[in-house]
Structure 1
Amino acid sequence: ETGERVRTRMADRVAELSGLTVRAATVRVQSLAADRAARSPHPSDGAGPSRRARRPWSGRRVPAALVALVGTGACALLLYDVLAVHVAGRGPAAWRTDAVDWTATHGPGDTPVVAGGVVAAVLGAWLLWLALTPGLRGVLPMAPVPGGGPRRAVLERSAVAGLLRDAVTAVPGVTDVRVRCGRRRVRVRARLGFGDRTTTHTAVRTATAATLGTLGLTRSLKPRVTLRPEPHWRPPEPTPTAPPAEPGPVTGPPPPKETDS
């Protein structure tokens, strides 16, 4: 929410000072610190955040640029040869006459034609897949900020893995942590150097669940925690207990002496 307010403030000030409209802005957070002051309620806050945010779509700049480059080059080459024939009176290029002769002597049943059709079909299916899927597999959508309008925030999966790694490393007894974050699941692999295995495993699961609960993601990640002991790990010895005291002679006041009356 703070990042959204910073971005909105920056866009408004740029428009006010320069008259230009900021269509997109990126806020990169390099460090986080706990805010001990109570957050003042935003005037546009609603009843609660919506949980319908989706993963943002990728611009697909690299595939689009490659397709446009190949198409532009082929069209420019063909246009140059056609203009050279009709304007300059030159003969057609050898590659164009060879292509026309090859297509005139080969039909749909030939192996090169079938192979070319398969390649074209695969490329077409790949382009359709890129056009119909959102992409940006390296980010996870966060819950929309109340009152934030159409702006949406995402969290990189590497950042999620870093936060989980820091939280699990702080557990006593853990020596090495490896985290692999997916789109729906996160896997935490830790090594135990000392301490009780069951207690440490429970602490690692608790730290993982607590960290995932503070990320504000639209879809909660399912954790899978694995704790393996180091080769030098030994289970802690049980604490010796003091043996019960043996019953001794009962001591008390001496019995009264009998006297003759």
Structure 2
Amino acid sequence: MPGEAGRPRSPRTRVSALVALAVLAGAGALLYDAVSEWTGHHTGSWRHWLAHQLSTRHLDSPWALAGAAVVAALGLWLLVLAVAPGERRWLPLRQAPGSAVDRLGVAALLERRVCAEPMVASARVRVGRRRARVTVHGSADLDRARVVLNEELDRIGLVRPPALTVRGRRARHRPHMH
């Protein structure tokens, strides 16, 4: 989708699409030769032998069924790889189309920003493609933490900022040993 800032695609998408097309072309050529052999027309030398084997074997033979299952599974896997979105750990940036930032990097930025707030002992941040979950340990104002985190997400400039969920937990107090 040219001109649209979408999720980056993995290079495997093009490669698997080319492999799937090559397999499809090879299967089409074999099917053409098998039909030619079956209708009495002649094909090339090795293709003649292969087409003869394919046209005379019963479809319920174990070798034919196993070969068909392997080819079907390989083809299905290649199609899944070709259409599956790639690079899921990257989130596209609004300011520079085609560039992206790692979800772990966004989580680190959010954690650093919320830990700078007063009364925050620590924070745990998990950033997904659609949601950012922040657990603040301490007695911080959660509304203030939400505002600060939303400002940080705006500063980062993601194309689709994740929905923010902020929860609070009391910091654990460890007894002092004397």
After superposition, residues 184-203 of structure 1 pair within 5 angstroms as: 184-192=130-138, 195=139, 200-203=141-144
More helix by share: 2
Question: Match of 1:98?
Answer: none
Over alpha carbons, which structure has the higher Rg? 1
State the one-letter code of the partner of 2:109: L
Q: Which has the higher strand share?
A: 2
Q: CA deviation at 1:117?
A: 3.8
Question: Paired residue for 2:6, among 54, 67, 90?
Answer: 54
| Structure 1 gap ranges (5+) | 1-50, 72-102, 146-150, 234-261
SS at match of 1:218: coil
Q: Quote the residue 1:143 is aligned against.
A: 94
CA shift, 1:203, in A, is 2.4
Residue type of the alignment partner of 1:58 = S
Distance across 1 between alignment mates of 2:112 and 2:151: 12
Q: TM-score, normalised by structure 1?
A: 0.44
Q: How high is the sequence identity, in percent, across the aligned residues?
A: 36
Matched, 1:207 2:125: no
Cα distance between partner residues in 2 of 1:205 and 1:112: 62
Task: Evaluate the alpha carbon distance shift between residue 179 and residue 122 of structure 1 in structure 2; reply closer, same or farther with a 3 A threshold.
Answer: farther
Write out aligned runs for 1:234-253 (5 A).
none
Contact 1:144 1:152 (8 Å CA) reproduced = no
Checking the alignment, whether the CA contact within 8 Å between 2:95 and 2:157 is kept in structure 1 is no
Structure 2 unaligned blocks of 5 or more: 24-53
SS of alignment partner, residue 143 of structure 1: coil
Map Cα deviations across residues 202-229 of structure 1 (whole Å, 9 max, x no partner): 2221221111111111112111112111
Q: Which AA in structure 2 matches 1:54? A: G
SS of residue in 1 equivalent to 2:129: coil
Higher relative contact order (CA 8 A, sep 6+): 2
Q: Which secondary structure does the structure 2 equivalent of 1:214 belong to?
A: helix
Deviation (angstroms), 1:136: 1.0
* Correspondence list, 1:1-261, <5 A: 52-60=4-12, 107-109=58-60, 114=65, 117-145=68-96, 152-192=98-138, 195=139, 200-232=141-173
Deviation at 1:133, TM superposition (A): 3.1
In 1, the alpha carbon distance for the partners of 2:7 and 2:156 equals 15
Q: 1:227 is paired with a residue of what secondary structure?
A: strand
Q: What is the aligned-residue RMSD (CA, Å)? A: 3.6
CA gap 1:110/1:208 in 2 versus in 1, 3 angstroms: farther
Could you tell me how far apart the structure 2 residues matched to 1:208 and 1:112 are?
Answer: 60
CA distance in 2, matches of 1:120, 1:209: 49
SS at match of 1:163: helix
